Amino acid sequence: MSRKQQLLKRHRRNKRIALLIGLAVLVATGVMVAWWLPPMLAVLLWAAHEAWFADHLFYSPSDHYEYAFPAGSEQPGLRLESGRLLLDAPLANDETLIIGVELKSSWLGRFLDPAVDLLDLDSADRQTFERGVNGRRYLNLTGAAQALAAGNISLRGRFCRIKGQPILWHFHQPDYRQQRVMVIAPHADDAELAAFSLYSQAAESWIVTLTAGEIEAEHYQQMGLPKAQASRLKGRLRAWDSVAVPRWAGVPEAQCVQLGYFCMQLQAMQAAPDQPQASREADLADTRLFRQFNGFALPGDADGAPTWHNLIADLRALLLKARPQVIVLPTPLLDPHADHICAHAAVLEALQGLEWQPDTLLGYANHLHDNDRWPMGDSGAGMALPPRFDSSPEMVPCSFALTLSQQQDKAMALGMMHDLQPRAPLKRRVRKWLQQVLAGRSPSPYGENEFFRKAVRRHELLWVLKQD
């Protein structure tokens, strides 16, 4: 069982215990006070739970985030005076800028999301943190180097205060947008969520999607399709999305590749490399149905067998064909999704002994172990660093600033993805409405799916895993 599954299991167990205690209290209230009081209290408690306690937050908001950055990346001379950031030294415009701050939530910050407002930028930014925050957090100021060096940025806590003095780290990297980039996506939309800005601006981009993402096709079953047919339809649609949507960003059709392996089966494939792993729901053991939109043949096309050996052979062929200088892939340091962990492992295995090696590996995390809501806050806001509680190994962030126009293009790309289009379940929609009314959370202007809020930001955040 993964750490994320263990945390979720513990969270659900604690909720069941709290529910039993609450029911006992309500029954006692009905017996000792009035019969009509328990139903009314039950509704109020349920609404309070949905508004303030429904987030999957598997740590205390008082825990410090723990990051270790490489020696020499700390920039001395930053101070906070009367709410204004002042810096003694100049900065390069293309640097990734991270500021560590100590935050202390106000009592209102236990019910309304605490945030730090970054004022006097070209457009104001608000980076949001956990309710009840009381510890070290990391702001992302990438793209604001000139304003910071000129002393034009003010910080203001919203439902929290900033304690002590901030610390600045700067990370200078090559301009990856001038290089050949290959994005490895375990599922259609992972490339867009993580790196749309990078791959849409790169000198040359390849998008390689490993799985068809065919499972959990209940939306298509509602059309009257049997489970297997609904799963195949969903897989075909997501296969189409994976090769068609990058065209919106200017990626040539021939450089968008769908490998057609089956969702949530990569781990089983890795465990038995020669053994085919059929789809869990599509009644299918041949990947070629989902490869029909590819522009050229791959080794796995010979038999369509969903095996780990075929996956590695496909990746090797693509790496030799594209010869990317930069590979963008999920990082298991932050992302616990089983397919994402296996995608990372598959790329590393495919690179072993290969005559072409990339200069750079950049990692991304579209899911987290500890916080399902990260990045917190609204669409268009900056992307603060995610929660992390292990200072080993060293982490090197690499962030890209997005203009409003680039954010809108990214939102439209996500909107074309069929998996983000169906309506959320009624319970989730009611929860979001209660959070808007009671907790002050704003919906995304781009769409109902949570990824529109989480991914359409003024930053994209990647991590340097390897740099020659």
Band of residue 11 on the pLDDT scale cut at 50, 70, 90: low
Report the mean per-residue pLDDT for the chain: 93
Least confident window among 19-28, 49-58, 233-242, 364-373: 19-28
* Separation CA 186–CA 400 (nearest Å): 22
Residue of 234, 125, 133 lying closest to 187 (CA atoms) = 234
With a CB cutoff of 8 Å and minimum separation 6, the contacts of 307 are 269, 273, 274, 275, 276, 277
Band of residue 392 on the pLDDT scale cut at 50, 70, 90: confident
Q: Are 181 and 230 in contact (CB under 8 A)?
A: no
Band of residue 252 on the pLDDT scale cut at 50, 70, 90: very high
Full-model pTM: 0.93
Per-residue pLDDT at 185 exceeds 60: yes
Task: List residues bridging with 136 in a β-sheet.
Answer: 102
Half-sphere exposure of 224 (CA within 13 A, CB side): 0
Least confident window among 29-33, 49-53, 344-348, 400-404: 29-33
* Separation CA 21–CA 23 (nearest Å): 5
Average pLDDT over residues 233-238: 98
Per-residue pLDDT at 184 exceeds 80: yes
Average pLDDT over residues 410-424: 97
Write down the pLDDT at residue 91: 86
Per-residue pLDDT at 8 exceeds 70: no
Write down the pLDDT at residue 34: 74
282-299 pLDDT, tens per residue? Answer: 999 999 999 999 999 999
Write down the pLDDT at residue 208: 98
Average pLDDT over residues 358-371: 95
Write down the pLDDT at residue 6: 67
Write down the pLDDT at residue 45: 85
Write down the pLDDT at residue 27: 67
Per-residue pLDDT at 433 exceeds 90: yes
Average pLDDT over residues 366-374: 91
106-150 pLDDT, tens per residue? Answer: 999 999 999 999 998 888 899 999 999 999 999 999 999 999 999
Least confident window among 6-15, 261-270, 366-375: 6-15
* Separation CA 342–CA 268 (nearest Å): 10
Per-residue pLDDT at 4 exceeds 60: no
CA distances to 214, 356, 381 from 370, in Å = 26, 36, 21
Per-residue pLDDT at 322 exceeds 70: yes
Band of residue 2 on the pLDDT scale cut at 50, 70, 90: low
Write down the pLDDT at residue 56: 83
Write down the pLDDT at residue 7: 62
Average pLDDT over residues 169-195: 97
Write down the pLDDT at residue 21: 74
CA 76-78-80 angle, to 5 degrees, is 155
* Separation CA 259–CA 307 (nearest Å): 11
